[in-house]
Structure 1
């Protein structure tokens, strides 16, 4: 089966609406599959065939992650699919591990590279290349200088190892790390991506994310826990276009923050996960920088007895609002009734006002952005163990 055939099956089953741009993107992905299937492995006196990849970009809610699901499942070679932040988190961990090795340990390592010495990039690239011949990246974006400064050499080694890259992104390659510090050092990486991948913009006929955000309320009030859970289950399925959910762990200045369910730029949390634990502004900025939509379960009534939870909730909403993150939530009351009295209730009025604004169509149509305060935030992401 091809990606286009798998896409057609979903259309016929009523799971997707026919979209000519999505179909054309499916054909572009099929071209990569064909090249992978026809490529010759390395042999005596013969280099392995290099296969050109694909960089699929476009606005959120266009179905890129759904198409990547179909593509990955049909790969004729060993493939690894990973959120780009997960990948970079792992890269940083492996680089640190290499630096901490003794010289004798490096010599015994399977991914050692002659002449690399203490330089971690060549051996880390060799390790990654040994695990997959096809790397499928979701949400390819570069916002951290620590990532920008190593990507050029890292991907040069991966491409030399004949690794094929297929990526989805909300940005054209030319706009990656835009206005970033020392961006001129990052430009060669952009040119290498354009050489190694076909660039295709998925200009879908409709913004499915916005449609799905506006076709149902984004703030749900109910005293029935089962109903609240079902409501967000349905919202997650709707907003991700049925993309497969994954889990990961955000690393922020040594702090670990578990994301138990995320897909297609949408993350789901419970109120206790984010507001009943000692998290702070950096954690919330990391979430706001990584995901364009957040689903939040079971926001309770707040009071002076829960003033710590209320303070964290205020910080969370500030971070989401600043980044134009879309919030879908279940709660015990409407925003203005969440914190009716007690210490902090007056200050909560601004948060209630923001929650109302975040329900408006004008807000829901805004483009997600990296919060200015998060531009230099050291954030890494790794798959959950």
Structure 2
């Protein structure tokens, strides 16, 4: 059987040096860092992607291991395998670069949990990171790469240096990339469950799967948090092996973050015309690459607890953009009505109570499932 490398997990990267930050990054010194992930699809072998894209200095990796996860920081010792990079067990990753490990022959299936352990012998400085990783990470002093369990480990809730995993899948395997903001990444869904709406949607598919390149706080038109969506297209969509479809949810933070960051002073976000132009540019660039592009209405957020986020002007722009997306003039191949899937039927600008994660801006696991269930899977002809 002919096979090809296909993305089975992705984690979109954020710079730790942004002046406006919603999430605090960190570094590591002479520590073993173990992080877990869940594969969206399977194959006969795996390779791991690491990133120092936003690091200020070269990153010394004194060893890396891959294993099947058991629970928490635990691994199955029988599966523990050293990773190599061009045949070497250690590597120095230059600032601004990513690296892919040599292949590991390890048959894996969709839903399987892996753990990646990195020994970082020096002072890394603030690391390239991910806002909402699959699950809680663990760090311990020294080189404990092969430890079955990391005893008395420090826990952290952001992801670091781990950019994704590819699997050796049957040739012709096609996947979708979920691309956008916190509603894509799965903020406020339960850690360690893969219950973001793309994760739950992926489990509905008979063929192919979905990987997630959402960034909580991300915007379509403006940097912070993360590079803006139009700037992320090449790395976070086009460079993903196996991609044929893209699902996009973006716009909430374009409307809300200017006022939130400026609070209590007023601030203006983009106009509806500017968002429409940006979304059209996004769709056109993805179409030029031969991809099917599925857009989404902007989710409701009336009454969010985040001060300065909810403004009359932002609500008016959201209503105009959503009406355009539900009409006949948008540039997408299909639309998921995210807003309708989770709206309070009596106050459609708000998230309905049973789907509200508690802050009026994000959905919980049940809300993410409602969005996943609202998707016409025939749009994802993978």
> Normalised by the size of structure 2, how large is the TM-score?
0.29
Structure with the higher fraction of residues in helix conformation: 1
TM-score, normalising length: structure 1: 0.29
Higher strand content, 1 or 2: 2
